[in-house]
Amino acid sequence: MTEKFSIREYLRDLSLPFCKGCGDLTIMSCFLRAVNELGYKDLGRFVFCSGIGCAAWIPSPYFKADSIHVPHGRSIPVATGVKLIRPDLNVIVFGGDGDLAGIGLSHLIHAARRNLDITVIMANNMVYGMTGGQVAPTTPIKAKTTTTPYGNVERPFDTARLVAAAGASYAARWTTFHIEQLKESMKKAITNQGFAFIEAVSQCPTAFGRRIGLKTAPDMLRWFKENSVTLQEAEKMAEKDLEGKIVVGEFVHRKFPTLTENIYEIIKEAKKGAKKN
Amino acid sequence: MTKTRFWQGNQACAEAAIAAGCKFFAGYPITPASEIAERLALRLPQEGGIVMQMEDELASIGAVIGASWAGAKAMTATSGPGFSLMQENIGYAFMTETPCVIVDVQRAGPSTGQATKCGQGDVMQARWGTHGDYTSIVLSPNSVQEMFNLTVKAFNLAEKYRTPVVLLADEVVAHMREPITVPSPDEIEIVNRKKPKPTDKTFFGSKEIPTMPSVGQGFNIAVTGSTHNEYGIRYTADPTVHRQLVERLVGKIRKNAGEIIELERYNIKNCEAGIVSYGCTSRTVYETVELAKKKKINLGFLRLKTIWPFPDDVVQTMAKNAKILFVPEMNLGQIFYEVERAVHGKVPVVPINKIGGGEMITPEELLKKVVKDVKNVD
């Protein structure tokens, strides 16, 4: 670890767009620290893809790197095209819960199923923050948002578990309270061969917290701290006691052949076949 | 050496993509376009390329855009319903100046319509399908030979102008089999995107068609569908930045329309009546022209190999001598309105429309209408 390290080394000279107390800055910082600790002096070996929403602005255009900022939900398809043509590059997707578990959910679970060798980091603020705080597929039941003034009537997705079930090679969930675990998890995800998914539960005091009685970032972080249980603890708890809890930890970490490995193997075979003909 | 082959239109399209240098295809199964994906799934890996069947058309064109920024020539193929789903990313490709080719093999719509039957109802969707201010390059083949030639041309135009190009085929042209002459690789003109010098920094402006880097080359490219300055940095509040960007994107196609547009002209300057047609319907017109001669009607024929940009001036030239123009289409009137707009009331324009069951307009049907209306206009 370098003592004088500043995340500014990896950023363009632009002022950052996040609101006061936004968890996206924590996620950005954890990621750049992870990159630094892995020994990357710059982001030249990385390509970032992101869709629409606040979290999509973590890399684009702030990272001093190649970044592709695409329509809402479509970051993973674009990352698929990039990774298949340039398997030598680290392809990283940043997005929010609306972008990745709402409009782009199908792409997320298909990429997990294919074991596409990319890393997806989902900032889960449980709400559509950029548009002012509408209900999301990750909003806790009964929570008040601008489009659920009487409380949310739907259950939220357990996205990390869903992605694990779809076949991801690595899937983990932490919160912006767990900065050390989040950073270490990101290091594993970046170096992992195969589809890696990290759900970073994150605070949005501006568009969510203040509507559920948690007005400031510290209020929300305290909520994360007090309500998080590790996977190991959760296994011993009754389902009723798990209501409203955030289960954190690594859901899967396993190795399968990756999509890029399989495809380039086929190209090798097809070329041989073509020569015979 | 050229080769003669007896190919299906979709097969010719797939082989032409390979000949043009396509290294990435992503698509989703749909009639009547699936043979393109099937052929490429077999052939592209032999040429070192990749074929992905994605989860839907939204993802298919997304992957194509990613592959293009990674440096590959890339294509997708679909039909009307899938083409509708692709519109958001077609706008993105236009806004980010991403070269790519979208093949739309038209069938009868709207909606699922008649999935296996021919139609020409996507002409306006190909022009105006995505939201916002933009303009399109759209090519329309009318034979298996042109499925080959215009697929190559679509790649070349996409690379040259850094823009998405649509090959607007139809079920008849895509599924028919005809003998075609396949040119040898050295006879095919290939255009590649202009790559930047190591010192270049502006990939989204300062020139009408900027150079295009690929990811992983150290350029720190910022690509965004939001309004951006010449460095690619998001700039969404300044009216001038938006105006300059979008006017340049539209302008680079409008200003070069003369070079982009390819037409087949027959007797357009001295005809007493004219026909404007495209795609499979235009195959009917050749015979109608011959049949009309026997009836002492001197017909002119303008065939749009490029539908968009639209050749206003050539249509106007035809309207100088022709006293009436006919526009046969397998829809309820789309190019008809463009012709009417171009001639601006100078001569009557008659739509001849037929939809349903994939039944084409026959030469006799067309002739009957022409004979009747040419007489009436006197």
Choose among A66, A85, A107: nearest Cβ to B67: A85
Query: Nearest CA of chain B to the CA of A174: how many Å?
Result: 28
Question: Looking at residue A277, what is its pLDDT?
Answer: 54
Nearest by CB: B224 against A60, A263, A269: A60
A270/B89 Cβ within 8 A: no
Q: Which residues of A143-174 are buried (b: 16+ CB within 10 A; e: fewer)?
A: bbbeebeeebeeebbbbbebbbebbbbbbbbb
- A79–B232 C-beta distance less than 8 A: no
Query: Among all residues of chain B, which has the CA nearest to that of A75?
Result: B62
* Residue B144 · residue B7 · CB < 8 Å: yes
- Assess: ipTM above 0.95: yes
* In a domain? residue A51: yes
The CATH number of the domain where A182 resides is what?
3.40.50.970
Is the Cβ pair B224, A107 closer than 8 Å?
Answer: no
Cα separation, B104 vs B106, in Å, equals: 6
Confidence grade of residue A276 (pLDDT, cut at 50, 70, 90): low
Rounded distance between C-alpha atoms, residue B121 and residue B106, angstroms: 7
Inter-chain contact A84–B45, Cβ cutoff 8 Å? Answer: no
**Whole-number pLDDT of residue A23:** 98
- Number of independent structural domains in chain A: 1
Is the domain covering B264-377 a CATH 3.40.50.920 domain?
yes
For the segment A124-172, what is each residue's pLDDT rounded down to a tens digit?
999 999 999 999 999 999 999 999 999 999 999 999 999 999 999 999 9
d(CA B75, CA B102): 6
Q: Count CA atoms closer than 13 A to A124's CA, side-chain side.
A: 26
The ranges of chain B annotated as CATH 3.40.50.970 are 3-187
Under 8 Å CB pairs connecting chains A and B tally to 148
DSSP of A119-141: EEEEEE-SEETTTTSEE-TTSPT
- Judged by a CB distance cut-off of 8 A, whether residue A6 touches chain B is no
C-alpha dihedral, A223 to A8 to A94 to A220, nearest 10°: 10
What is the CATH T-level fold of the domain B3-187, as seen in this structure? Rossmann fold (3.40.50)
Q: Which residues of A touch B55 (CB under 8 A)?
A: 106-107, 110
Question: Between B69, B71, B226, which is nearest A68 by CB?
Answer: B69
Mean pLDDT of A263-277: 88
Residue of B nearest to A270 (CA): B46
Candidate from A80, A86, A106 with C-beta closest to B56: A106
- Residues B27 and B50: their CA atoms lie apart, in Å, by 11
Q: Indicate if the alpha-carbon torsion angle A73, A74, A77, A81 is positive or negative.
A: negative
According to DSSP, residue A151 is labeled -
Cβ of residue A211 closer than 8 Å to a chain B Cβ:
no
Residue A103 structural domain: 18-276
CB-based contact B59 A80, cutoff 8 Å: yes
Tokens of A43: 């982001």
Contact (CB, 8 A) for A100 and A108: yes
What order do you get walking across the sheet with A246-253 strand by strand?
A228-230, A246-253, A170-175, A196-201, A119-124, A90-96, A46-50, A66-69, B222-224
Structure tokens at B96: 């980010």
Q: Per-10-residue mean pLDDT for chain B, 378 residues long?
A: 94 98 98 98 98 98 99 98 98 98 98 97 98 98 98 98 98 98 97 97 95 98 98 96 98 98 97 98 98 97 98 97 97 98 98 97 98 90
From chain B, the residues in CB contact with A49 under 8 A are: 66
Q: How close does chain A come to B106, measured CA to CA in Å?
A: 25
Residues from chain B contacting residue A106 (CB–CB below 8 Å): 55-56, 59
A 10 A CB-CB count for B90 gives: 24
The length of chain A in residues reads 277
* Cβ–Cβ below 8 Å for B66 and A106: no
Smallest CA–CA distance, residue B215 to chain A, in Å, is 6
Does this model's pTM top 0.95? My answer is: yes
**Bridge partners (DSSP) listed for residue B53:** B27
Residue B224 amino acid letter: T
The one-letter amino acid code at A33 reads R
Q: Are A94 and A171 in contact (CB under 8 A)?
A: no
Q: Measured between alpha carbons, how far is A74 from A79 in angstroms, rounded to an integer? A: 9
Strands B299-304 vs B273-277: parallel, antiparallel or unpaired: parallel
Whether A113 and chain B come into contact, CB under 8 Å, resolves to no
Tell me which residue of B262, B280, B278 sits closest to B32, measured CA to CA. Answer: B280
Q: Which residues of A fall within a CB distance of 8 Å from B58?
A: 73-74, 77, 107
| B222/A44 touch (CB, cutoff 8 Å), yes or no | no
CB contact under 8 A, A70 and B50: no
Q: Do B24 and A71 touch (CB under 8 A)?
A: no
Q: Say whether A71 and B88 touch across the interface (CB within 8 A).
A: yes
Is A153 near chain B, with CB under 8 Å?
Answer: no
Residue A260 lies in a domain: yes
- The whole-number pLDDT of residue A4 equals 75
Q: Mutation test of the interface with chain B: which of A10, A49, A67, A74, choosing the one with the most B Cβ atoms within 10 A?
A: A74
A260 close contact with B: CB closer than 8 A = no
* Residue B260 near residue B137, CB atoms below 8 Å: yes
A64 touches chain B (CB under 8 A): yes
Q: What is the mean pLDDT of chain A?
A: 96
Strands A228-230 and A246-253: parallel
Does residue A275 register a pLDDT over 80?
A: no
Burial B123-151 (b: 16+ CB within 10 A, else e): bebbbebbeeebbbbbbbbbbbbbbbbbb
Q: A65 in contact with B at a CB cutoff of 8 Å? A: yes
- CA dist., res. A170 & res. A197, Å (int): 6
Q: Strands across the sheet with B263-266, in order? A: B263-266, B299-304, B273-277, B324-329, B349-353
